[in-house]
Amino acid sequence: MDINPGKIRKRSVRIAKHQTSISLEAAFWDALKQIATERDRSINQLITEIDLARPTSESAGNLSSAIRVFVLENVRRS
């Protein structure tokens, strides 16, 4: 885990065959990596699944927010 879990980290990822970047706090990246490992998926695969499952309306928020909610829901289910 990162020494500063609140530090924003920007990463490049590939979603549905296109490159994009996502900014998340280090703690969320760490949790996302752990979930991906537990599900035997790559980070890119898991983010693609999150992206496909989120609502497409403008009021639905961005992908970074969808990832945070996904991680939070996973923690709550544990």
Q: What is the pLDDT of residues 14-67, one digit of tens each?
A: 987 889 999 999 999 999 999 999 999 999 999 999 999 987 765 567 899 999
As a whole number of angstroms, the distance between CA 11 and CA 16 comes to 16
Q: What is the mean pLDDT of residues 2-17?
A: 83
Strand partners, 24: 9
- ∠ Cα 70 17 24 (to 5°): 35
pTM of the model: 0.85
The distance from CA 32 to its chain's CA centroid, rounded to whole angstroms, is 6
Contact 39, 77 (CB under 8 A): no
